[in-house]
Structure formats: structure tokens, C-alpha cells
Structure 1
């Protein structure tokens, strides 16, 4: 599938959103063709704002939601995607598209504003309006917690069946081997957080001191922020910043986690908490507050313990000491932490659940398929295996392998095979079919949404033939953003034939010096091609049809290279007269 990843933040930058977007994007990239969308729209809105209101006036993307809606609506009209994954409510609120949209996040505007305590009524009202519009517009919503899901249902009237809860994963590249922790030396506490006050840094220090006062040797490592004032204690080590995107930073981070026994996180607010996933990967129990969406990541008694927001530091210390002095119980809890990571809190699990969801949404939205007749000579086993592989895992096609008609002249054999397929289609009363040769392969431009959109729109324009890609042509006239009328074409490796052309093809008397693509070019006037090509021909080093292609290996690929270059030039000229969005 071809997916637009609609985000104001760059998903390829690991520093954005604590790396969460980065890991989402790269795990989706394993299975789909992803395109980051939204950057240009945001930059143009910022530029407009600066030119009209000056540098000193703060830019608020919410105020440009209607503009974003218009720009993105136009964009998705021209650029065809199978799905859109959207992170920002101001992008989605006024977007109008038939493409399914998955709205993804870890909180709602209502929940976030409850923590921020925003008192600016106009600003809050606008944010609430955009959030509700985005939730209602979305085809499906994915949150990281039940906490966020319940807010969408209770505050924004979202249908429960259109919301899925899929936990985020640990933002680490190298999954550690679980070996347990040595509990014979000092008890090593760990605190991670950029916002010292909000993340409860002072209470973490109080927990550390309470453990020490009760006679347990203890250390505290602080990552991400600097206490003010800095405690004068040799057992407290501070790393104001560790860059996990660097090899050195990642190594240091891993070393600290391997030596830590507890993650202390008495935070005032958290939507989910990636750091809890990371701690669980190392078998480190988490002691944190039961606020926000934390209970989705930290299951009480499984991979940590949840405390009331006003619980004193001594409660944390008592739990630490109780477990630390009972080695077996601590070891069992460490194993439970790792198990919870392996079953819920890692990006591979997120990837699988998202894949299942995206496929089900796309299948539910389309609910259609097109019959494909792939022509193959039975002795060409290599080509048969190739063409079968091309259609594996593509439920949008009903695949039929058709034994080719043989003839001493390959061109006649191919035409007879096409006639054979047309007769089969007429018997099945098909309205539209794909005829495919066994050297066809899908390019990176292929997507089901693009193909079905072009088939529908070409039909509305009276097309009788639509090609997925051609190796040569005469004149090409744009009749759609991805569709061109051509006067003649070479190559028949992937052609959509409409029923209106069936009798025309069957009634033609094929001559010895004819070629299939030449005849189809002559007898069918309204013929079109999709560009960028979704199909091209694989060069097997020989041809079943054209003798010239056998004498010059690589000639087929050269034809497509030239055709692509010509279309690229035509497309460049076309884009000069087409709006950007």
C-alpha cells in the first residue's frame, strides 16, 4: 500500500516526540511505501504568517486549520494514496478526502488541556473544535491507552468501534538479552526526564534519601535534566543529556540501564511513557504515579507499581526495600517486566497489530477486486514462478493463470492467447479485466488505491484500454493527473481491458506481420496509460514474442527507460499548469 504519513514533525528525525514518530515511521516502512506529508504545507503557512503578521507574532497552526484543509484536500486529489496516517488535528479537521484516514496519538486535546490548565478561552475553544472535527473525520483512531480512548468517546462522542488501543514500544535499536540483575551490591535507582519539576525529580531524590536512611546502600542516576540545587552526594550521578541517536550515547544508555534496579518516575502527568517500555526491556521494575495513560504501560504488580500522586517518598522506599531484600520476588518481577515488554511494549508487536488494522481498513473500504488473467507458456517455469509471486499477498486481484496458445510465430501465439482470455471473460460476464504477461512486475509506484481510482476515472472518460506501463508511444495527452491518452503504444505486459472492447478484439483478423500492441493501438481509439508506471517488464534474457528482443539482452529495459524519460518531461510541463495542491 501507498501511505501518506501526515505530520508537522519530521518522522525521520529521531529527536522528535522522544523518537516515537521515528520508530512508527520506520516500522511501517518495512511493509508499505511511506511518504512524509505536511512539511511543505506547514512551511508555507509559517511563511504567510511571517509576511503578514511579522516575526514577533507567535505562529499557531490551529489558526490555519482551514488553509491546511484546502491545501491537503487538493494534494490528495492529485496524489493518490491508499491510506493516510495523520498525527495532527489541525491537518485533519478540515480535510476532505475519500482516502481512509487513521488518526493516531497518545492523548486528546481535553486531557492535555486539563494538565496544562489553559485559561485562554478562545484558544481552548478553537483547539476543542479542531479535536472534535478530527475525531469525527477520521476513518479510524489509534491511541496508546484506554485513558485516551475513553476521552475520545466520552468527551468527543467518538464511536467506540472505530478506536483501537495499540501500545507504543521501547525506543531502542538493540533489544538487550535479558540476564537479570545482581542484587548483592548497592541498590541502583534511575530517574529519566527532561522536565525536572513535572517528572517529579525532587521526589525521586527524596526516595533515594529515604532508602539510604533505612540502611540500604543506594545510588541514584539522573538522565535528561539537572537538579536545582544540585545535591551534594557522591552517590548521585547526573547526565544532563544522552544522545541515543549516537553510538556512544546508545552504549552509555544501555550500560546505565543494565546496572539499574528500579526506575523511579513520580511524574505529575504522562500520556503513556516510552521510558517505561525501555525499562521493561531491561527487566527494570517501574515505580510511578497512577496518572494519565501510565497504567497502560505499567501494569501494577507486573512490570512495576502505581502510586497515588500524593504518595510520600517513604511509600516508594518501602516498596523498594521490601522487594530488594527478597531476592526471589525481585527476580520474578524482573522476568515479568521482560515478559510484558515482549508481549506488549515493543515496536515489533505494534507493527504487527498496525499491519493487521491497516489491511482490514483497506479491505473494508474497497471491498472489490479485479480478475487478472496471466498468460504463461507451461514450459516457462521460471516466468510462471515470477508472475505468481507478483500477485501473492494482493487480495485486490482474483488471479487466474492461463496457459498460452503456442504458435511458431510468437506474435500470433500472444494474440491467440489474448483472444482466449477475452472469450473466458465474456463467458464470466466480466465488465473489466486485467490481461497480464508473465514478465510483468509491479513498480514501487503501484498501489491498489491508485489502480482502482484510475480504472474508475478512465471508464468515466470512455476508455476501452488502460495500460499499467508502456515501453514506447507516439503522442501523450494528459486526461488526469496520473493518466494519459496515447495514440499508440508498445508493450502489453499489464493492460486493463473494458468489456466495450471485447467484441472489437474478437472480430479482428490477425495478420502474420501484426503485433498485439500494434493491433490494439489501431483498433482501440480511447486507450490510456497510468504514469508513473505501475507495471514494467522484467528482462529474462529472452522473449516469447519478439525475436529482436532475444538478440539484444537489456533492450526491453532500455525501452521503458526511454518511455519514462519522455513521460517525465511531459509531466514537468503539465505540472506548470496544475496547482500544487
Structure 2
């Protein structure tokens, strides 16, 4: 099958954009036996920037320009390839493009959330006019797509409930990461000496960084020597940097060999992932944890339940949980010897859901 891969950045080269989703899904498509060609378009041209200002004047400064008919019209016009030559068009995340495409070629729209889910969860302060426009564009995208794929059941349920999509058109396709069979990366086995707890994310507040610090400090106070390995944060609060139980790796650019090397080395040092996130659609780091056999402790929010299964590869606590309550779970895992079992569960999650092969096999089952 010849797949036209529509994205603003080269999915053959860019390992970083949208947390690596463009690169990884393109790899999965090729591994599944399909020929993939990049269908490029141009965004943020002078014209685009001008109309983004027009958008703000009409809909307010805190709206989403991408979720507008202006962006949809302007950006789809920059696509120059002949779309009729493809068997299917795969469009990850770009609601403006999907809404504006005019083609008889079947379209796969792949995303991680919906406007109704984002309001007052990720997005705050939107005007009623901006919300109405965003929902209109999203409805057009869903109606224009032959397939609507969501990265979590949470998001898939919203597409069916809020946009009345045909359930037969909607599928859950969890995000994926690179083939760990080639990298041979695995978290460390807990040695009974120091519990190495990994925290990864770029938004300290939204990812619940302070809860992770509190949990690790609590473990140390209880006599379980622990260290928090922090990656992804550019400006970590000084009060956190100075703590003895914290090892700050900073922001690591996975597009650069040295940054990727340090990031993978951190996984090999860690025993598990702790991510007490406050809001989450589908964290790629959960897929990485599965690939590297890392148990995960997170929160009951957003799409997390698609990636972290209780008693399989980890646990999810309510958003009301304190750092001490996260420590309770980690202490239980250590004392009951649960880490090895949860690590095996993580590896199975990767094989079944979060690997290139699993994603590609699912693609071949749905698209015929």
C-alpha cells in the first residue's frame, strides 16, 4: 500500500516533534510492509502569521489558531503533491489539514484528544466563540476522515459521544516508540541498595514534579534509600536542584546523538518511572517505559489507563493523592518484591500495544 504521510516536519528524520510520534508511526508503517511518502505542507508563512493575528482579533488571544477555518484553508493550499496517487493518507494530529483536505483518497485522522476534553483541562481562558470554532473544525475533520484513530480509549469515547462518530469508524491506536529489540535497553534490576526513580517531562507543574520529589523524600525518611532521576526540565526550581535525593539530567535533545545516549543511559540506571501528572492525553514516556521494562506509577487522569494497567505494569492513583501516598505504593512494591513482575508486565504491554510491530499489525487489520 502506498501511504501519503501528511505532516509539517519530515517523518523520516525528525525524532523529536510531537514526542517522536511522526517518526515512530512512519517507521511502524514501513515495518508493516507499506511504502511511505512524505506529503509536506507549509505553515507559519507570512500569510499564515498574518491570519493568526486576525484569528486572535476575532476569537481572542487564548484560542487555538490551528482549530480554525482560516488555518485549514491557508495550510491545505500549500500541499502540492498529487494526493490521488496514494492508497490512503495518514494525517497525525493536524486537525486543520484533515478538515480542509479535498480528495477522494481515504484519510486516516490520528490524534490524542478532542476539543471538549481539552477545555479547562489543557486549555484555559478560551472564549465561547473560540470553542465553537474549534469544535466546528474538529467536526469537519472527523466527518472528512474515513478512519478516526485515537491514542487512548478516553479520547475515542469523546469522538463517539461528542461528535456522534460512527463507532465502526473509530479505533484506539496507542502511541508507539522505537523497536527496543534493536536497542537492547532495559531498566536496572533493583539491587536492594538505592531505589532509582525516574521522572521525565518538560512541564514541571503539569507533570506533577513536586509530588515525585515528595514521594522520594518520604521513602528516604522511611529508610528506603531512593534517588529521583529527573530528565526533560529546562529550568528546574533551585530548591529541587539542591536536594540530595535528586539527580538532575536537564533537558536532553533526543535528536542529537549525545542527548539520546544520555537519555537511554538514564533509563538503564532507573528501576521504575514515577509520573504524578495532573493532566495527560497520551504520554510517550509511558510507551518508552513499556519498551524498557519499567514499572509505572502515575495518576488516574486523561488517557493514562490505556498505557498503565493496574497490577500489570504499574498503578494509577487519584489526582488527590499526596506524595506520601505515592511513596506508600512504591514502598509496597519494594517490600513485596513486585518490581520484577511489573517489569515483565511492562515488556508484555510493549509487545502487545506500544511497539512498531504491534501498531503495524493493528493497521493491517483495520485498513485493507
TM-score band by shorter chain is 0.7 to 0.9
Select the residue among 84, 90, 95 that pairs with 1:89: 95
Inter-partner Cα distance in structure 1 for 2:229 and 2:52: 46
Corresponding residue for residue 302 of structure 2: 292
Pair 1:218-2:220 in alignment: no
2:362 is matched with 353
Matching of residues 2-41 of structure 1 within 5 Å = 2-11=2-11, 12-30=13-31, 31-40=33-42
Residues 261 and 139 of structure 1: CA distance in aligned 2, closer, same or farther (over 3 Å)? same
The structural deviation recorded for 1:176 is: 2.5
Which residue of structure 1 lines up, in the alignment, with residue 193 of structure 2?
185
TM-superposed CA distance for 1:248, in Å, is 2.8
Which residue matches 2:246?
236
Q: Provide the residue aligned with 1:195 in structure 2.
A: 203
- Preserved contact between residue 6 and residue 38 of structure 1 (Cα < 8 Å): yes
* Compared CA separation, residues 119 and 248, structure 1 to 2 (3 A): closer
User: How far off its partner does 1:179 sit?
Assistant: 8.0
1:109 and 2:91 are equivalent in the alignment: no
Counterpart Cα distance in 1 of 2:287 and 2:34:
25
Equivalents in 1 of 2:15, 2:3: separation in Å? Answer: 20
Q: Distance in 2 between matches of 1:304 and 1:194?
A: 22
CA distance in 1 between counterparts of 2:8 and 2:100 reads: 15
Specify the alignment match of 2:139 in structure 1.
132
Query: Which stretch of structure 1 is more off in the superposition, 47-56 or 194-203?
Result: 47-56
Spell out, residue by residue over 1:462-508, the C-alpha distance to the aligned partner (whole angstroms, 9 max, x if none): xxxxxxxxxxxxxxxxxxxxxxxxxxxxxxxxxxxxxxxxxxxxxxx
In 2 relative to 1, CA 20–50 (structure 1 residues): closer, same or farther, beyond 3 Å? closer
Displacement of 1:286 in angstroms is 0.7
User: How far does residue 237 in structure 1 lie from its aligned partner after superposition?
Assistant: 0.8
- In the alignment, the residues of structure 2 paired with residue 357 and residue 4 of structure 1 have an alpha-carbon distance, to the nearest angstrom, of 17
SS in 2 for 1:170: coil
Partners of 2:188 and 2:271 within 8 A in 1? no
Ranges in structure 2 where 5+ consecutive residues have no aligned partner: none
Deviations 1:169-192 (A, max 9, x none): 234664426586133211111110
Alpha-carbon shift at residue 68 of structure 1 (Å):
4.3
Of 144-153 and 180-189, deviating more is: 180-189
Q: Aligned-residue CA RMSD in angstroms?
A: 2.6
**Which residue does the alignment assign to 2:47?**
48
What is the deviation of 1:113? 2.5
SS at match of 2:4: strand
Q: Work out which structure has the larger RCO, using CA pairs closer than 8 Å and 6 or more positions apart in sequence.
A: 2
Q: Does 1:151 align with 2:158?
A: yes
Structure 1 pair 70–190 and aligned structure 2 pair: CA distance change class (3 A): closer
Residue 130 of structure 1 deviates from its aligned partner by 0.5
Instruction: Kindly indicate whether the alpha-carbon contact (under 8 Å) linking 2:198 and 2:273 is maintained by their aligned counterparts in 1.
Output: yes
Q: What is aligned with 2:167?
A: 160
Contact kept? 1:10, 1:16, Cα under 8 Å: no
Q: Closer, same or farther in 2 for the Cα pair 1:239/1:56, shift >3 Å? A: farther
Calculate the TM-score normalised by the size of structure 2. Answer: 0.88
User: Match for residue 329 of structure 2?
Assistant: 319
Once the two structures are TM-superposed, the CA of residue 147 in structure 1 deviates from its matched residue by 0.7
Alignment CA distance shift 1:137-1:215 (3 Å): same
Mapped partners of 2:142, 2:360: distance in 1: 23
* 1:183–1:324 CA contact under 8 A, matched in 2: no
Quote the offset at 1:136 in angstroms.
Answer: 1.3
Separation in structure 1 between the aligned mates of residue 335 and residue 4 of structure 2, nearest angstrom: 52
1:118–1:124 Cα contact (<8 Å) kept: no
- Are the aligned partners of 1:145 and 1:166 in contact in 2 as well (CA < 8 Å)? yes
Asked whether the equivalents of residues 180 and 334 of structure 1 are also in contact (C-alpha less than 8 Å), the reply is no
Tell me whether 1:245 sits opposite 2:255 in the alignment.
yes
CA distance in 2 between partners of 1:52 and 1:23 (Å): 32
**Aligned in 2, Cα 1:123/1:148: closer, same or farther, shift over 3 Å?**
same
- The answer (yes or no) to whether the contact 1:147–1:293 under 8 Å persists in 2 is yes
Change (3 A) 1:342 1:126: same
Task: Report the Cα distance in structure 2 between the residues aligned to 1:35 and 1:319, rounded to whole angstroms.
Answer: 46
Q: How many residues align?
A: 353
Structure 1's unaligned 5+ residue stretches are: 361-581
- Alignment partner of 1:344: what SS? helix
TM-score by length of 1: 0.57
Query: 1:404-426: CA deviations, max 9, x gaps?
Result: xxxxxxxxxxxxxxxxxxxxxxx
Q: Based on CA coordinates, which of the two structures has the bigger radius of gyration? A: 1
Q: In 1, are the aligned partners of 2:187 and 2:271 still within 8 Å (CA)? A: no
SS in 2 for 1:300: coil
